[in-house]
Amino acid sequence: MRILVLNGPNLNLLGVREPEIYGRRDYAALERFIREAAAELDAEVEIFQSNHEGVLVDRIQAALGAFDGIVMNPAAYTHTSVALLDALKAVALPAVEVHLSDPDSREAFRHVSYVRAACLKTVSGLGFESYRQALRFLAAYLRGEREA
């Protein structure tokens, strides 16, 4: 099972950017956490982060035929990117939206998610654990365990 984990803008600044919201652990720690969570599921992951919307669109498109599913933290693009939504819909791979914080408990503009319409589920507000839960759900879905 191959899963692409995509991270959007400013996640490379974890541990520096608003640690009271996003925590004090850095992006390298997040990558380690994701790899460990994937190993628990016997899943192979590729992790990619970009601050550029078009680069993320390119990675989603390149996932077609190369990955079984996508876990994506679109970060700020959650609330603005029809391009990411369209790319996810175009490749039609099972996808899970993930967030470290809970956007629904923050500023009103963060309550809107464009990508959610192309995702099976959203996992948010659990810090790094959001990624483990998203990977678990997606792995179960890909194995045909639709009740996950």
The active-site residue, picked from 22, 77, 114, 141, is: 22
Bridging pattern class, strands 2-7 and 44-49: parallel
Query: In angstroms, what CA-CA distances link 141 with 14, 19, 83, 122, 145?
Result: 29, 33, 25, 14, 5
Q: Please tell me the distance from the alpha carbon of residue 55 to that of residue 71, in angstroms, as a whole number.
A: 16
The active-site residue, picked from 77, 99, 114, 141, is: 99
Helices (H) and strands (E) in the chain, counts: 5, 5
Assess whether 22 carries a catalytic annotation: yes
- Write the DSSP assignment of 26-45 as a string of letters: -HHHHHHHHHHHHHHTT-EE
For residue 145, the 8-state DSSP code is: -
Give me the active site residues, please. Answer: 22, 99
